[in-house]
Amino acid sequence: MLDFERYEALTFDCYGTLVDWETGMLGALKPLLSQHGVELDDDAILDLFAEFEAELEQGEYKPYRQVLEQVVQKFGERFGFSPSEAEKSALPDSIKQWLPFSDTVDALKTLKQKYKLVILSNVDDDLFADTAKHLQVPFDQVITAQQVQSYKPSLYNFKTMMQRLGLPSEKILHVGASIYHDVIPASSLGLSTVFVDRRHDGSSGAAKAAEGKPDLQVPDLATLAKLAQS
């Protein structure tokens, strides 16, 4: 068990950890694909999203809105249709409707009483601004891929976060729902990590699959808040 008294800041991945991005993206992608005669089950859509997103976030930085538009383009290339500009915009435009998991807001309010709270997210500033309204908690720092000009799992994102916080690694606990994006890079820099296993089935869903060992695994944020308060 982690010693929660040693930490001063909790840093959070946002989408998949705090916000139910899979329900959100499926709500945008399923009708679009169906309109082009492509019928896939949810897991197949999420697997393809994970593949396309990871590929598009490598190399020269591009805004996350553009990444998501190109994800839609790649679905078209894979299944033989040409999405319109409006269809490509539908996925990033849907982010403003993506909602937090049912336990997120209460857990963040509880944790805020004890820790600095930080967002470290692969997103654009304006897209997160829409999400922040749903989270209802003021964060001490918000660090986006747009600010850093790179995407997790790049270590540069985590190093930037540590520099901005001005805290030693042993005072920071990083919380994420992706082994690939969060646990592996954070652990490599000496940060303690919590893996929030939102899917509860051993699959990685919309995040690229990877093998890594967090310091703590919890099924949801409510469990983390309870452990931190005990």
Please give the positions annotated as active site.
13
Q: Which tokens is 10 given?
A: 């909790």
| Cα 118 to Cα 123: distance, rounded to the nearest angstrom | 14
Pairing between strand 216-218 and 172-176? unpaired
Residue found by looking up tokens 């646990």 in the block: 183
| DSSP three-state, residue 100 | strand
Q: CB within 8 A of 169, min separation 6: which ones?
A: 162, 189, 190, 191
How many CB atoms are located within 10 Å of the residue 202 CB?
7
